[in-house]
Amino acid sequence: METNFQNVRVLQSLTSHTSDVTSCDFSTNFVLVTGSSDKTVRVWDWIVGSGYSERSYSPLLGHKYSVTCVKLSPQGCMLASSSVDGTTVLWNMHSGSKIHVFVQINGDAVRVCRFSGDSTILVTASDNGALCVWDVIHKSLVRTVTDSEGTIQSLAFTPDSKYLVSGCSVEKIKIWLVSSLADTTNDFCLPLYSVDNAHDLGILYLDVSKTIDVDGILSDKLVKLFKIHDNMNIDELSFLHLDESHTYPVLHVEFSKSGKMLATCSLDGCAIVWNMSSGLKIFEIPQNSLAVKDCRFSADETMLITVGDDEKAYVWDIVSKSLIVMVQAHLESLTSTSFTPDDKLMVTVCTNGEIKLWNILTGTNIFTELYAHDLGINFCDFSENMEPNPLVQSNGKQNYLLATCGNDSLVKLWLIAYSKASESVTVKNWRTLVGHGGNVMCVRFSPKFSELVCSGATDKQLRVWSVYSGTCIQVLNHDSIVTCCCFNFDCSFLAGGCLDKTLWLWKLPEHLTVELSFTRKIDIRKKDVGEWNNDDVLEWLTGAGLQSLLSKVASFNMDGGKLLTMKDDTIFNELGFDEEEAIQFNKELKRLKEAERTFLNGFRSSELLNVPHRFFCPITHEIMREPVVCADGYTYEKQAINEWFMSGRYTSPMTNETLPNADFYFNNELLNEILEFFNDND
């Protein structure tokens, strides 16, 4: 396409600086920054219809002498400004506040500064030819290279941040391997290649094309599906032809909860919902002019959210293929979104570090957290568990647990309490997970009970965290930046995708899946027996030591309702129990029925009776069903103390002293007292 330069005209002149403008830079959302010899940095926002207007916190004051270079980070969250005073200041673009001041080696004048593509490295260069490589995350100097003979006046990273190019006043261009610059185990670092006499009289500026073999390096635009067999063999599925769907890199893929649908979204502004059985398109959203960065299914699989660079969130009806609601969500690019597990609310996050909660039906914003993460949020995910913290009383509110991750190297867990009646929301930063040494790109909960959370980062690590203790229980190292991660349905596998086009599949330690099974056993005790399904009945039999009866009970599809209402003889005959099996089953069934009747009556009438204080659990303050004695000598409800230990606390709930172990035994004497008390008061 030819450009007619005869039509080029001046749109606006900005005259706020009082001396020569030495540097300027744009961000993707048209924000303009300028630096000047008047020692100031100014930030300008583009206002449609009126032009550029200076931000409220501008100008940025912090340099003692002329500003030589200004550069925005690739995500637009940070700004670096260099000066003749020998410093480079890192600024928060959202608030205008200083993040850190980097002082050049020997205090020499800094001529240029550049961010790496993932914003984790900042390189500055000075009059004496020294290159300083800075760790932006830890605000520390990684390496100083003094190989240049003249003043380095220009720097540029390649789009994949593998190489750094420098140009200096003695006419030389040098190419550096970034991994070598960042490797502190080697004392010396030499350029990979050098070009002499590149320009007469020196090099003032250079840049690298942002497009390098897009098909081969940035993305192949493909969506690939794999099947994992029990013997650990992996086959690529070829019956779905998704390779001609998107014209630019695919940014996110998401299965529906049942696995019957797949959603894909892309830099080309499209999002597509696929039928996993036929491989055909179910729904393709109208193409957006800007990238769609995330797409998520609702739990009931009737809705899809899409968010992206146009700063809006869209909720689509998959069945009718129509738009339900669109919200102008943020003033910056949206990076991720998610539904609550009951599909009542949705969350959006963006590059300026904001979290917003929305009522899906009305499209109204019901909560905003302005500074959730410094330097922007990359991903978010809701726990599927509708009771994410069993030790928190609901008080008529629905509780949710949200995970977010960002460029500040942190993963944060947020407890959200929502009252539908008053449309009120309270949000608390419940835990902050610290351990990554780079931008955290993705965070996902384990399915169903969500006791685990995984996160991948630019430090080439995939980490597995315990939600309840907040501790990191697995660190999995990769050869490249980890860009995405997720668990399979039963948490036996964990997948991590990397920038170098590799997919890593990890088999998780068996003790983790045992813990998940253990949580399932705890969960069934929260239900009345009449609400049990067949799986709950099988769990009860296993806990009672009657594993030999599992196959017979499973084939009959026995549930809690049948247990309580069918006659004993009918159950024995239908299940084909022999005499010994019938005696064992009858003994446990009688105990179960008596406990259920007693406790249902007891809970309903406990306020009318003078119930002894020792019958109540010190943790839940409810009458105990399964009293157990712990190492501290006190008695607790079994479910409550199990959850206490699972939350990572190994101190006594009564004395707060560290327990020697997490063992306990049943307090049968107290249980008999409780049963007798309520039987006598029936």
SS (H, E, C) 43-68: EEEEECCCEEEECCCCCEECCCCCEE
Q: Report which residue type is found at 77.
A: C
- Interval 514-541: pLDDT, tens: 445 444 444 444 456 766 777 778 777 7
Kind plus residue range of the DSSP H or E element containing 641: helix 638-646
Dist CA 326 CA 312 (whole Å): 7
Domains contained in the chain, number: 4
Q: Is the pLDDT of residue 609 over 60?
A: no
Dist CA 239 CA 321 (whole Å): 25
Q: Is the pLDDT of residue 511 over 80?
A: no
Q: Sign of dihedral through CA atoms 275, 280, 282, 284?
A: positive
| pLDDT value at residue 212 | 38
Dist CA 178 CA 172 (whole Å): 19
Q: Is the pLDDT of residue 125 over 90?
A: yes
One domain for residues 366 and 294: no
**CB 417 within 8 Å of CB 388:** no
| Residue 528 domain-assigned (yes or no) | no
One domain for residues 248 and 269: yes
Dist CA 567 CA 245 (whole Å): 60
Picking from 299, 323, 347, the residue at the C-terminal end of a domain is 323
Dist CA 400 CA 269 (whole Å): 31
Kind plus residue range of the DSSP H or E element containing 288: none
DSSP symbol at 214: I
Structure token pair of residue 480: 């490249």
One domain for residues 337 and 413: yes
* Average pLDDT value over all residues in the chain: 82
By C-alpha distance, which of 674, 538, 485 is closest to 595?
674
**CB 32 within 8 Å of CB 24:** yes
One domain for residues 298 and 333: no
| Residue 379 domain-assigned (yes or no) | yes
Sheet arrangement for strand 345-350: 334-339, 345-350, 355-359, 365-369
By C-alpha distance, which of 586, 552, 557 is closest to 569?
586
DSSP symbol at 162: S
Picking from 279, 308, 323, the residue at the C-terminal end of a domain is 323
| Residue 569 domain-assigned (yes or no) | no
Dihedral (Cα; 637, 641, 647, 652), 10-degree rounding? 130
Confidence band, pLDDT 50/70/90 cuts, at residue 230: low
**CB 273 within 8 Å of CB 289:** no
CATH of residue 261's domain is: 2.130.10.10
The SS3 assignment for 416 reads: strand
| Residue 566 domain-assigned (yes or no) | no
Instruction: Determine which of 7-16, 84-93, 247-256, 606-615 has the lowest per-residue pLDDT on average.
Output: 606-615
Residue 444 structural domain = 329-512
Picking from 166, 195, 224, the residue at the C-terminal end of a domain is 195
Q: Please provide residue 351's backbone torsions phi and psi, each rounded to the nearest 5 degrees.
A: -75, -15
Instruction: Determine which of 78-82, 89-93, 109-113, 642-646 has the lowest per-residue pLDDT on average.
Output: 642-646
What value, to the nearest 5°, has the Cα angle with vertex 82 and ends 77 and 83?
150
Within a 10 A sphere around the Cβ of 568, how many other Cβ atoms? 13
Q: Is the pLDDT of residue 446 over 80?
A: yes
Confidence band, pLDDT 50/70/90 cuts, at residue 368: very high
317 or 609, which is more confident: 317
| pLDDT value at residue 394 | 56
Structure token pair of residue 419: 């009252």
Q: Is the pLDDT of residue 403 over 50?
A: yes
- Interval 407-436: pLDDT, tens: 888 999 999 998 877 778 899 998 999 989
| Residue 487 domain-assigned (yes or no) | yes
Confidence band, pLDDT 50/70/90 cuts, at residue 508: confident
By C-alpha distance, which of 643, 640, 638, 644 is closest to 664?
638
Within a 10 A sphere around the Cβ of 676, how many other Cβ atoms? 11
- Interval 50-60: pLDDT, tens: 899 999 999 99
| pLDDT value at residue 223 | 66
Residue 564 burial class via C-beta count within 10 angstroms: exposed 0-12, middle 13-18, buried 19 and up = middle
Q: Is the peptide bond before 286 cis (omega within 30 degrees of 0)?
A: no
One domain for residues 364 and 275: no
Q: Please provide residue 169's backbone torsions phi and psi, each rounded to the nearest 5 degrees.
A: -75, -10
Q: Is the pLDDT of residue 642 over 50?
A: yes
**CB 273 within 8 Å of CB 261:** yes
One domain for residues 279 and 306: yes
Output the CA–CA distances (angstroms, integers) from residue 278 to 225, 266, 282, in the order listed: 14, 22, 10
| Residue 58 domain-assigned (yes or no) | yes
* pLDDT over 90, % of the chain: 30
Kind plus residue range of the DSSP H or E element containing 604: helix 579-605
Dist CA 17 CA 35 (whole Å): 9
Sheet arrangement for strand 312-317: 292-297, 303-308, 312-317, 322-328
- Interval 259-307: pLDDT, tens: 889 999 988 888 999 888 877 888 888 877 788 999 999 998 999 999 9
Q: Is the pLDDT of residue 336 over 90?
A: yes
Dist CA 116 CA 71 (whole Å): 11
One domain for residues 251 and 370: no
Q: Is the pLDDT of residue 608 over 50?
A: no
One domain for residues 226 and 296: yes
**CB 42 within 8 Å of CB 34:** yes
Please, what is the end-to-end C-alpha distance for the chain in angstroms?
A: 89
The SS3 assignment for 656 reads: coil
**Angle between the N-to-C axes of helices 638-646 and 510-524, in degrees from 0 to 180, rounded to the nearest 10:** 150
One domain for residues 355 and 495: yes
| Residue 654 domain-assigned (yes or no) | yes
| pLDDT value at residue 216 | 29
One domain for residues 132 and 56: yes
| Residue 531 domain-assigned (yes or no) | no
By C-alpha distance, which of 435, 440, 385, 436 is closest to 415?
385
One domain for residues 336 and 319: no
Structure token pair of residue 101: 């001041």
One domain for residues 164 and 303: no
